[in-house]
Amino acid sequence: MRLLVVEDESLIAYEFACAIEDHLDPEVVAVTTTTSALEMIATRNFDAAIVDVKLKDGTSERLAAELLRRSIPYFLLTGCPTQGELPAPLDRGKMLKKPYEESELIVALEILAETAWMQNLLTLRQ
């Protein structure tokens, strides 16, 4: 699985990558801004993404819209109390609330992996 992680806090991104690699064997690419993430998905194929809502260059609304357009499943990392408080298209992603437990992260990754697998299977059948 090729996973894009978009998180602007380096320590969180590092801990996140370590937890992912301990439980799964994905190819992880981490970036810190929406702009960098958009450049990455324009040049590489990803199966899934985990995206912080608030980044150094603003919110990740443009990125969420592009992930939806490309049918790349994603989870949002956010401190927002409810999904209804997020602007579109951020409100269409699955949510992982901060602070989260490692077990919650692993469940989110398993959901992303299963969703990505199903989407790849459907693409192959077309």
d(CA 116, CA 26): 12
Residue 65's pLDDT band (boundaries 50, 70, 90)? very high
Mean pLDDT of 12-21: 76
Average pLDDT over residues 1-23: 81
The pTM (predicted TM-score) of the whole model is 0.81
Using left for φ > 0, alpha for ψ between -120 and 50, and beta otherwise, residue 84 falls in alpha
Q: What is the enclosing helix (H) or strand (E) of 19?
A: helix 10-23
CATH, range 2-125: 3.40.50.2300
Domain ranges of the chain: 2-125
Res. 122: pLDDT tops 80: no
Contact between residue 105 and residue 16 where contact means Cβ atoms under 8 Å apart = yes
What is the average per-residue pLDDT within 59-74? 91
79-113 tens-digit pLDDT = 765 556 666 667 666 777 877 787 888 888 888 77
